[in-house]
């Protein structure tokens, strides 16, 4: 039960992360269309930004309306939203190179690496895209270095490598934090289950106490009235076993009560709880 719930929690987190990334990508491209002069001067940049924004919006709507997304589907959605940056970051830099306005051309890559680190739905897709765009930045920097002012790339490739390391550390930290949160949820579920079981054990102990004493008196009376020795012996062995169980419950009653806390149930609720457990395992 804990594993299933933990898996569900992981999937829901991945879905939320993918939706957030898709919405941010759509909004970023809308803002770029309105404010970036390259979208007005370069038709290729304009088409890429429009298509990228539409892809982000479509992915966000699909995940919001869908209900059967899995981890793999979330990774696919993240990839669909992030891959257009391969072209969306390349074309503006080449456009700036051609117009002679090249300045900090790899800065968008640095921000993208940090964005991937904090928003990737899983560790493996995050690592894959951090490596992809780090290599993309290094290749683009090499291409730009052939025709650009060296001052615009004075801190490369050192800055790109630095941001790659920082992004990797942030991604690993976020992944560990999610794992710890899932373990806390699983531990809380196990504690609730133990409290329920302890409550039923307390109810069973209380329910068995009085009938057991009644049966002991009845067997004693049968023995005095001349009951069959074989039947009396069978009843006495059965009572002895029941008494052993009752003594075990009584000895551990304090520990069980501590686990059960306020969830300890009344004896009258025992039958209903047992029926619910049986129905869950049918």
Same domain membership, residue 112 and residue 44: yes
Same domain membership, residue 237 and residue 151: no
Task: Return the minimum-mean-pLDDT range out of 32-46, 91-105, 212-226.
Answer: 212-226
Domain assignment present for residue 167? The answer is no
Share of the chain above pLDDT 70, in %: 68
Same domain membership, residue 221 and residue 106: no
Same domain membership, residue 213 and residue 151: no
Same domain membership, residue 112 and residue 203: no
Same domain membership, residue 146 and residue 38: yes
- Quote the domain boundaries for residue 245: 195-280
Domain assignment present for residue 94? The answer is yes
Cβ atoms of 132 and 183 within 8 Å: the answer is: no
Band the pLDDT of 53: cuts 50, 70, 90.
Answer: very high
Domain assignment present for residue 190? The answer is no
Residue pLDDT, tens place only, 122-145: 899 999 999 999 999 999 988 888
**Chain length of the chain:** 282
Residue after which a domain boundary falls, among 134, 156, 178 = 156
pLDDT, greater one: 183 or 226: 183
Domain assignment present for residue 183? The answer is no
Residue pLDDT, tens place only, 74-85: 999 999 999 999
Same domain membership, residue 214 and residue 87: no
Task: Return the minimum-mean-pLDDT range out of 74-83, 89-98, 149-158, 236-245.
Answer: 236-245
Same domain membership, residue 143 and residue 55: yes
Same domain membership, residue 235 and residue 141: no
Residue after which a domain boundary falls, among 156, 185, 203 = 156
pTM: 0.65
Domain assignment present for residue 184? The answer is no
Same domain membership, residue 202 and residue 143: no
Cβ atoms of 53 and 30 within 8 Å: the answer is: yes
Share of the chain above pLDDT 90, in %: 35
Domain assignment present for residue 168? The answer is no
Number of domains in the chain: 2
Same domain membership, residue 202 and residue 145: no
Mean pLDDT across the chain: 78
Per-residue H/E/C for the chain = CHHHHHHHHHHHHHHHHHHHHHHHHHHHHHHHHHHCHHHHHCHHHHHHHHHHHHHHHHHHHHHHHCCCCCHHHHHHHHHHHHCCHHHHHHHHHHHHHHHCCCCCCCHHHHHHHHHHHHHCCCHHHHHHHHHHHHHHHHHHHHHHHCCCCHHHHCCCCHHHHHHHHHHHHHHHHHHHHHHHHHHHHHHHHHHHHHHHHHHHHHHHHHHHHHHHHHHHHHHHHHHHCCCCHHHHHHHHHHHHHHHHHHHHHHHCHHHHHHHHHHHCCCHHHHHHHHHHHHHHCC
Q: What's the CA gap between 275 and 234, in Å, rounded?
A: 30
pLDDT, greater one: 175 or 163: 163
Residue after which a domain boundary falls, among 130, 156, 182 = 156
């Amino acid at each position: 039960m804990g594993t299933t719930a933990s898996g569900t929690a992981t999937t829901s987190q991945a879905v939320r992360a993918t939706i957030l990334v898709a919405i941010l990508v759509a909004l970023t491209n809308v803002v770029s269309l309105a404010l970036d002069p390259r979208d007005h001067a370069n038709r290729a940049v304009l088409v890429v930004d429009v298509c990228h924004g539409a892809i982000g919006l479509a992915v966000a709507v699909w995940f919001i309306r869908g209900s059967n997304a899995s981890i793999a589907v979330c990774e696919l959605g993240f990839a669909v939203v992030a891959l257009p940056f391969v072209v969306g970051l390349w074309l503006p830099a080449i456009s700036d190179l051609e117009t002679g306005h090249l300045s900090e051309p790899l800065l968008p890559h640095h921000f993208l690496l940090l964005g991937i680190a904090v928003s990737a739905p899983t560790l493996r897709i995050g690592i894959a895209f951090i490596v992809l765009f780090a290599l993309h930045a290094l290749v683009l920097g090499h291409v730009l270095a052939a025709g650009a002012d060296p001052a615009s790339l004075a801190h490369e490739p050192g800055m790109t490598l630095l941001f790659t390391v920082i992004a990797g550390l942030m991604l690993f930290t976020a992944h560990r934090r999610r794992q710890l949160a899932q373990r806390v949820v699983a531990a809380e579920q196990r504690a609730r289950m133990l409290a329920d079981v302890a409550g039923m054990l307390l109810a069973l102990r209380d329910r068995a106490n009085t009938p057991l004493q009644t049966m002991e008196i009845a067997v004693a009376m049968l023995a005095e009235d001349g009951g069959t020795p074989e039947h009396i012996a069978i009843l006495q062995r059965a009572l002895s076993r029941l008494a052993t169980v009752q003594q075990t419950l009584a000895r551990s009653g304090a520990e069980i009560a501590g686990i059960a806390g306020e969830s300890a149930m009344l004896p009258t609720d025992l039958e209903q709880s047992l029926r619910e457990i049986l129905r869950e395992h049918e």
